[in-house]
């Protein structure tokens, strides 16, 4: 079942690339969350998308915005990737139970065992205000995220 605009975002707790637990509901009341699911670290399209978020998404430095990215990769893979690409935002591991959070959001490809390219903007109250889900090979447009966040202000 896919999460739709207007739904309460399913809560979760996953470890980031440093092994630190990150709980979605921990941002309630203080930050809008840009939740980005991607298939696999170190792959071409995923690297391009996350580098674009690093370089062309200044909203990530705002006090009221948190960027969280999620894949089924391990925390060790995320740490190596973050170090190689200088990512400073959270890379969360949905490794075990395998893809559980991606499944909760309706963006897990059972046949391939990875997340599709789903993005959800969740407001400070924990409600999904915008979403886009692209097929695995199709990159997303960061300008769409920026527009959706601007509408929350």
How are beta strands 21-23 and 32-37 bridged, if at all? unpaired
Active site (catalytic) residues: 46
């Amino acid at each position: 079942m896919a999460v739709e605009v207007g739904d309460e975002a399913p809560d979760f707790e996953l470890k980031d690339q440093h092994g630190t637990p990150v709980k979605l509901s921990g941002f309630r009341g203080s930050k809008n969350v840009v939740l980005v699911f991607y298939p696999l670290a170190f792959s071409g399209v995923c690297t391009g998308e996350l580098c674009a978020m690093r370089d062309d998404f200044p909203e990530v430095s705002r006090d009221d915005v948190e960027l969280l990215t999620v894949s089924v990769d391990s925390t060790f893979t995320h740490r190596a990737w973050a170090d190689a690409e200088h990512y400073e935002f959270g890379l969360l591991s949905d490794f075990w139970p395998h893809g559980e959070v991606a499944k909760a959001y309706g963006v897990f490809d059972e046949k391939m065992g990875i997340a599709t390219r789903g993005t959800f903007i969740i407001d400070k109250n924990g409600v999904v205000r915008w979403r886009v889900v692209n097929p695995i090979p199709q990159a997303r447009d960061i300008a769409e995220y920026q527009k959706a966040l601007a509408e929350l202000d």
